[in-house]
Amino acid sequence: MAETNWAGNHTYRGRIERVRSVEHLQEVVAAAPRVRALGSRHSFTDLTDITDTDDGVLVSLVDLPTTVEVDAANRTARVTGHAAYGDVATRLQASGWALGNLASLPHISVAGAVATGTHGSGARNGSLATAVVSLDIVGPEGELRTVSRGDADFEGSVVALGAFGVVAAVTLEIEPTYDVRQDVYTGLSWEALADDIDTVTSSASSVSLFTRWADSGIEQVWLKSRIGETPAQLRGARVATSTLHMLEGGAVESVTQQGGVPGAWLDRLPHFRMEFTPSRGEELQSEYLLPRELALTAVERLRGLHDRLAPVLLVSELRAVAADRHWLSSSYGRDVVGVHFTWVRDPARVYAVLPAVEDALLPLGARPHWGKCFVAGVRELEPLYPRMADFRALRDRVDPDRVFGNAFLDRAIG
């Protein structure tokens, strides 16, 4: 039976090999002409697949045990690469430790999220890649090597799209556990957002703005604040009186607790609970991250596209992310605002509107999220990444025979 990604819109071409140990992984990689790694399958394209002309293998680490090895003295935790953030967070919490930030979905794998520059939210919070201290990578000949912060290749190797090998383990920065409250507001007008967007997007540790680009403005604002911090009041917005889902008709029992009730970080920072299907399940996603100072320009351009987007758009989310130094990160070298789109699961109709979205956003310097739907190719993407040529040079050195190459990388990286 053919296997698909999480959204069900891509069927994998390659033979899937479930490895039982790191040594088994090394043997499989060394013997295969082409290899790609499968994580939580939350990419919406052929990013993690082999090219259909290859006799390659897709390696899954799902049978490896999830381990979380805490080094309290150095405030780090070494975790198996395939492990889901929710599982890692649960184990850290049990031992009194925490991660500084999480993405909306606790279901995604650590290695996959890091490799695609996935992020949470917060004007002062970098992408999840900024927590990485080191990576253990199985290279093209099955060799196991470690790349650590401070190494010459480190900043090119973290957000690497699987181009340098299969990540067997990731060491992350951790901190003592903490509590968070989540407050939800409704009815923030476009005028109030335009008056001081920087204040709005930094009004809590993590801020998410949900809209459908209609004249009604921002329909929901989710503020996640560490206990001891006071979330800002949003002018003209109203405190929600019941639990809300960002999708119309969405099951509210699947979202993390709202109403300002304090709870452990892992139970508030994600939007969705680990035990439920995130969002709606049957959907596509896109995201573009652009310089924060151009956020209002992007808002105006997307409002102008409302009529084209509405038939296929479930909701959009705006979030701020802090700059980092990872070469292929969407926030490399600059503070950004991410504009996320949750679409109906209709690839033909979604891909028909993506060129209009990219015509509006790419001239502003917007970089597509690597793991989501976009149409730009290397010609459009290269000017957006100052270290793209350095990344290709590092790839030539680490994987000269393109054991980890595929059609996606050919289109996007060259």
Give the pLDDT band (50/70/90) at residue 135. very high
How does pLDDT run across 15-34, given as a tens digit for each residue? 899 999 999 999 999 999 99
**Looking at residue 229, what is its pLDDT?**
87
**Looking at residue 53, what is its pLDDT?**
72
Question: Given a cut of 80, is residue 207 above it in pLDDT?
Answer: yes
Rounded distance between C-alpha atoms, residue 354 and residue 304, angstroms:
14
Give the pLDDT band (50/70/90) at residue 280. low
**Looking at residue 341, what is its pLDDT?**
98
Amino acid at 51: T
Question: Given a cut of 70, is residue 74 above it in pLDDT?
Answer: yes
Question: Given a cut of 80, is residue 313 above it in pLDDT?
Answer: yes
**Looking at residue 277, what is its pLDDT?**
64
Return the half-sphere exposure (C-beta side, CA atoms, 13 A cut-off) of residue 170: 28
Give the pLDDT band (50/70/90) at residue 39. confident
Task: Render 361-407 in DSSP notation, one character per residue.
Answer: HGGGT-EE-TTS-----HHHHGGG-TTHHHHHHHHHHH-TT-TT--H
Q: Which two tokens stand for residue 266?
A: 């892992």
Question: Given a cut of 90, is residue 81 above it in pLDDT?
Answer: no
Angle, CA of 388, 392 and 393, to the nearest 5° = 115
CB atoms within 10 A of CB 72: 12
Among candidate residues 219, 369, 221, 215, the one with its CA nearest the CA of residue 290: 369
**Looking at residue 275, what is its pLDDT?**
78
Mean pLDDT of the chain: 95
Rounded distance between C-alpha atoms, residue 310 and residue 234, angstroms:
26
More confident residue, 264 or 279: 264
**Looking at residue 35, what is its pLDDT?**
96
**Looking at residue 239, what is its pLDDT?**
95
Percent of the chain topping pLDDT 70: 98
**Residue in the structure block whose two tokens are 């973290």:** 158
For residue 30, the surrounding DSSP H or E stretch is helix 22-31
Q: Which two tokens stand for residue 222?
A: 């989710």
